[in-house]
Amino acid sequence: MKVVIIKYNAGNIMSVDYALQRLGISAVITDDAEVIRAADKVIFPGVGEASTTMRYLKERNLDTLIAGLRQPVLGICLGLQLMCRYSEENDTPCIGIFNEEVKKFRSQVPENKIKVPHMGWNQIYNMQNRLFMGNMGNAYTYFVHSYYAAIGPDTIASCDYDVTFSAALHRDNFYATQFHPEKSGYPGSQVLKNFIAL
């Protein structure tokens, strides 16, 4: 099986690769369109800022490449946000796989000041997908993000941080997690295993 991690100007690519290696999976890190298209599974990770990253993807036609993939694709963190329709972060149109608007965390009650970014371990629930097969009850996963996708028709797991948001999304062959499976211990490893097994 050929697993590809898309190489672009975003952080955490190597940590995803190391997490796969711990599972005995050797991945290719590349931005070569033909190699990506020929892969059995594609991972689209990301830590960074939406507008500069979308500009980078567009300059290399990676945005249209990703949208046109037919094999299972897993977006992680910024990868999830860029797979949505639009991000408030610097007024950025995104790839549009998920018809969601990515919004910044803001305290819903003025006297209840939340810390942004949402960083650390938090519980996910309402897990409704093959991505979460296995002993995933009461799963705590690791988050680092200031922006989120709201609950919508593609939501397959939820999380609460002042508001309830999508911890994971799924549409057709596209999957995405707002949390970092590569940093989330057993639940994250299980998500990666389940994705590879799709």
Helices 185-197 and 13-22: crossing angle in degrees, nearest 10, is 80
Q: Is the pLDDT of residue 110 over 70?
A: no
Q: Which of 89, 118, 170, 182 is catalytic?
A: 182
* Domain range for 108: 3-197
Q: Would you state the pLDDT for residue 55?
A: 95
Q: Would you state the pLDDT for residue 95?
A: 98
Q: What pTM does this model have?
A: 0.96
Q: Is the pLDDT of residue 81 over 80?
A: yes
Q: Would you state the pLDDT for residue 109?
A: 65
CATH number for the domain spanning 58: value is 3.40.50.880
Q: Are 170 and 195 in contact (CB under 8 A)?
A: no
Is 159 among the residues known to form the active site? Answer: no
**Sign of the C-alpha dihedral, residues 29, 45, 85, 55?**
negative
| CA quadruple 83, 89, 90, 92: dihedral, nearest 10 | 20
Is 170 among the residues known to form the active site? Answer: no
Q: Which of 77, 84, 94, 159 is catalytic?
A: 77
Q: Would you state the pLDDT for residue 12?
A: 82
Q: Would you state the pLDDT for residue 2?
A: 98
Q: Is the pLDDT of residue 137 over 90?
A: no
More confident residue, 114 or 127: 127
Q: Which of 118, 145, 170, 180 is catalytic?
A: 180
**Across residues 81-104, what is the average pLDDT?**
98
Is 118 among the residues known to form the active site? Answer: no
The pLDDT mean for the chain works out to 95
Q: Within 10 A of 27 (CB to CB), how many other CB atoms are there? A: 20
**24's torsion region: left (phi>0), alpha (psi -120 to 50) or beta?**
left
pLDDT confidence band for 10 (50 / 70 / 90): confident
Q: Are 100 and 148 in contact (CB under 8 A)?
A: no
Q: Would you state the pLDDT for residue 138?
A: 77
DSSP symbol at 66: H
How many domains is the chain built from?
1
Q: 20-78 pLDDT, tens per residue?
A: 999 999 999 999 999 999 999 999 998 899 999 999 999 999 999 999 999 999 999 99
